[in-house]
Structure 1
């Protein structure tokens, strides 16, 4: 039904997502690294103040990718779905935990690790306790970017039962849960209603993926139900600011949540407009970042202690700060490549080989 040109166009659209993912990962690194950056009398760090918004882009892209992957996959069992997500998230994360522990030990000769904190982080219950209320546990070793992994993981875990038991009404279920969660968030903000509320942002990627897979033109009208719910939640969160705001800036709760939802709506509207203009200048601006996409997850979870707040080589190097930053970056990028393109790939390949062997043996016994 669709010729080679249509297929190539689809691939180009997915490459655009890869470019955005790579760019967002690099931006988060710059956000954490250049808290203060003056040049020619200008505070250029202002350009890198939107790291939270980059994470929101990750959420939307993640929802898109999971929907495409799950809808195209033949094996829709929970065991396969769970194992794939488990390997993808935890293998790089465990490598990062070990590297972070080793660097802390290298600098201090002794490290006190709370096993409770470690267990709660492994259960994906972490968040930023210094900017949000009623957080269960902070990210391990103070590696603050890990806050978003708990959201991602539970989005994955919520996606499967919703799609399994409510395939025809999945979006309505998510929208309803999101609005209820936002309402309860005003009264008692907690881990559960935060997850359900932010699930709507992640689900916007799912909605976009469905329209893409159905070869439908993505228009404002088709996205109106999603955008309406996001605006309703935004209004509730503005009410939360009015009711519960005491002190703090735009980077702290309750303003932070409003900022997240406002940006999610803004990002979707901008993408619609950009698409209308046939992604004018997108390739020139974003294509180089495709190269970072395959290691973007590794960069995201390791840069905070390997680059942004790194001091592990300061006593050994007397070079200028720029050269130290370059060396830290080389180490982090090399580590991310090793974890993502070697360790994870080999473990994932071994799992797939074992999985296919199981399937073949079952088929043989059946025949």
Structure 2
């Protein structure tokens, strides 16, 4: 944004428009939503077998990811300009590692401590999504068995364990928040999402009791915590201050989710066709937007105005994301559901035959 005009970073950092560009806050909201959605089959006793569950997640997340990884590696090798002197060190770190077999192996495994700056930095959050998905049935045991206060104490405990790595450096991060300790901390947001699903009726009833002024105050509070919690990192100078920031973001996100579940006006807004469309292609947008931005800058920087490069990048991202959704993501998810259903049906038949035999 600074390359367009120095004013833009100020506008998007301090104005309400920050909500549209604060990527890290979107990740925390995504973790909470993931916990919410993943918990529903468990809460409704429709979770099926563990193998079916894992395979569904594999087809839903991993297959589109591995395709995007292949594209990112190809583009990085083909288009990288060995650094652009007039751009920052932060920008030039990306794609600087070239075709590194060990780093590619890391990315294929996905759940390891990955060098996320190598090909597509945004996948740091996907690492946690995959790790936590593997243990999510254990998480749901605690969510279902224990009351909300016990689970919130568990969240604080997990985040405290995560903070210990910030203080004592038990595990070095190869990428952006990619350590196991980071996953332990981020598990708390999946638990929070599952708790929202468990108590959604109670929360909706509480929301409906509020008058209009209180509802607007609640929305304002949500936007402030979601957009501006990072001010904690300016005020509190501790190695773990990002965890405090993320809890502030989570608080704002929780309010947003409650309003989405309870407010007819909010629901109607979310049901608008453009919003549904963006939601449909959101995973592909997530996978491709940064790769396309890097490609566009490496291709056109110094040849086209930076504003035009951003516009081309935006249009290309939408087109590629639509193609990615319809030709990769959606078919893969459908195949995953079919495979999962067959496995669950097979295991159910086996259980039935064993009972009859007994």
Is 1:156 the counterpart of 2:156? The answer is no
Q: Deviations over 1:104-153 (max 9, x none)?
A: 34436999433332333344346xxxxxxxxx432263311101012212
Mark the CA change 1:71 to 1:107 in structure 2 (over 3 Å): closer, same or farther.
Answer: same
1:52: how far off? Answer: 0.7
1:208: how far off? Answer: 0.7
Which residue of the partner structure matches residue 188 of structure 1?
A: 168
Which residue of the partner structure matches residue 214 of structure 2?
A: none
Structure 2, gaps ≥5 residues long = 82-94, 172-178, 208-224, 226-231
Distance 2:127 2:62 in 1: 11
Q: Is the partner of 2:145 in helix, strand or coil?
A: coil
Contact map agreement 1:118 1:140 (CA 8 A) in 2: no
| Residue of 181, 197, 208 corresponding to 2:185 | 197
TM-score after normalising by structure 1: 0.65
- Residue pairs, 1:109-188, within 5 angstroms: 112-125=98-111, 136-139=113-116, 141-164=118-141, 167-169=144-146, 172=150, 174-175=154-155, 177-178=157-158, 180-181=160-161, 184-185=164-165, 187-188=167-168
Distance 1:179 1:305 in 2: 31
Distance 1:195 1:77 in 2: 24
Q: Deviations over 1:130-186 (max 9, x none)?
A: xxxxxx432263311101012212222232223347841386363363254156245
- Residue pairs, 1:210-249, within 5 angstroms: 210-212=198-200, 217=204, 219=206, 242=236, 244=238
Q: Deviations over 1:25-66 (max 9, x none)?
A: xxxxxxxxx565559989654434411111111011101000
TM-score after normalising by structure 2: 0.66
Distance 2:284 2:26 in 1: 16
Distance 1:356 1:185 in 2: 39
Structure 1, gaps ≥5 residues long = 1-33, 127-135, 221-230, 232-237, 246-253
Which residue of the partner structure matches residue 15 of structure 1?
A: none
| Residue of 103, 114, 120 corresponding to 2:75 | 103
Contact map agreement 2:158 2:185 (CA 8 A) in 1: yes
Mark the CA change 1:329 to 1:85 in structure 2 (over 3 Å): closer, same or farther.
Answer: closer
Contact map agreement 1:178 1:199 (CA 8 A) in 2: yes
In terms of mean alpha carbon deviation, does 287-296 or 49-58 score higher? 287-296
Contact map agreement 2:73 2:119 (CA 8 A) in 1: no
Q: Is the partner of 2:281 in helix, strand or coil?
A: helix
Which residue of the partner structure matches residue 225 of structure 1?
A: none
Q: Is the partner of 1:209 in helix, strand or coil?
A: helix
- Residue pairs, 1:47-62, within 5 angstroms: 47=17, 48-62=20-34
Contact map agreement 1:146 1:301 (CA 8 A) in 2: yes
Distance 2:165 2:205 in 1: 31
RMSD: 4.3
Mark the CA change 1:333 to 1:365 in structure 2 (over 3 Å): closer, same or farther.
Answer: same
Q: Deviations over 1:265-285 (max 9, x none)?
A: 122235556777x35455347
Contact map agreement 1:163 1:170 (CA 8 A) in 2: no
1:346: how far off? Answer: 5.1
Distance 1:87 1:282 in 2: 29
Which residue of the partner structure matches residue 276 of structure 2?
A: 290
Q: Deviations over 1:298-343 (max 9, x none)?
A: 211121112465347649x97954356424542343234322123x
